[in-house]
């Protein structure tokens, strides 16, 4: 395992907690504080939690490509023993993957905003609707029964365009 900076450690722990939850964060901390590999039994013992909870957390780390394991069959019991190793250096690729995912979602929302005309009654709690929906409702709000008028979404489009540009700049996408 390569040495990571405090900033990388914090990024790793924050990302793991955001994506997989606080229990996975705790398992990550244990893996970070030990050199080499650990078994799920040792981690469960140190955290004083059930073995199946530790295994769930480890598999989440594995799914995120932040941990790997090797298994060895115990010669006396015949059971497999799993030795887990954390790869904190992969946090950068995980962060980039998440940023790309966010970029895709923002771009899809931007396309939706640019490709539709919206209508709203402007009452709090009532939703804006697309032109097609407004037509189907005879331009009457389904919630409050007020008239639906054109809704200007240029501010929403502008914010989304800025977000797309910011993310593209961060990701070095032209």
Question: Both 27 and 81 in a single domain?
Answer: yes
Q: What is the mean pLDDT of residues 16-41?
A: 92
Note whether residue 102 is domain-resident: no
Question: Both 12 and 67 in a single domain?
Answer: yes
Question: Both 84 and 147 in a single domain?
Answer: no
What does the alpha-carbon distance between residue 62 and residue 85 come to, in Å, rounded to a whole number?
10
The total domain count for the chain is: 2
Q: What is the mean pLDDT of residues 71-89?
A: 93
Question: Both 85 and 120 in a single domain?
Answer: no
Question: Both 36 and 70 in a single domain?
Answer: yes
Residue that has been written with the tokens 């060895």 in this structure: 72
What does the alpha-carbon distance between residue 94 and residue 81 come to, in Å, rounded to a whole number?
28
Question: Both 77 and 17 in a single domain?
Answer: yes
What CATH number corresponds to the domain at position 28? Answer: 1.10.10.10
On the question of pLDDT at 39 being above 60, the answer is yes
- pLDDT for residue 174: 65
Q: What is the mean pLDDT of residues 10-25?
A: 90
The last residue of one of the domains, among 90, 105, 138, is 90
Question: Both 79 and 120 in a single domain?
Answer: no
Note whether residue 122 is domain-resident: yes
Give 1's pLDDT tier (boundaries 50, 70, 90).
very low
**Which of 2-11, 18-27, 123-132, 136-145 has the weakest average pLDDT?**
2-11
Q: Which residues contact 25 (CB under 8 A, 6 or more apart)?
A: 13, 16, 17
Query: What average pLDDT does the structure give for the chain?
Result: 92
Question: Both 82 and 34 in a single domain?
Answer: yes
Note whether residue 23 is domain-resident: yes
What does the alpha-carbon distance between residue 172 and residue 49 come to, in Å, rounded to a whole number?
42
Q: CA-CA-CA-CA torsion for 171, 31, 26, 29, nearest 10 degrees?
A: -70
Question: Both 13 and 85 in a single domain?
Answer: yes
Q: Give the pTM.
A: 0.69
Question: Both 86 and 127 in a single domain?
Answer: no
Question: Both 80 and 142 in a single domain?
Answer: no
Note whether residue 101 is domain-resident: no
Give 94's pLDDT tier (boundaries 50, 70, 90).
confident
Range of the domain at 126: 116-170
């Amino acid at each position: 395992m390569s040495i990571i900076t405090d900033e990388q450690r914090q990024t790793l722990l924050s990302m793991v907690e955001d994506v997989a939850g606080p229990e996975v964060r705790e398992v990550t901390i244990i893996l970070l504080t030990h050199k080499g590999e650990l078994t799920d039994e040792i981690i469960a013992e140190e955290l004083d939690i059930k073995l199946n909870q530790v295994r769930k957390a480890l598999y989440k780390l594995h799914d995120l490509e932040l941990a790997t394991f090797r298994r060895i069959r115990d010669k006396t019991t015949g059971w497999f023993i799993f030795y887990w190793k954390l790869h904190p250096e992969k946090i950068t690729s995980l962060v980039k993957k998440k940023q790309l995912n966010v970029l895709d979602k923002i771009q899809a929302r931007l396309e939706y905003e640019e490709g539709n005309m919206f209508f709203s009654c402007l009452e709090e709690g009532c939703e804006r609707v697309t032109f097609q929906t407004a037509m189907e409702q005879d331009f009457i709000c389904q919630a409050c029964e007020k008239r639906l008028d054109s809704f200007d979404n240029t501010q929403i489009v502008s914010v989304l365009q800025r977000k797309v540009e910011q993310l593209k700049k961060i990701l070095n996408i032209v």
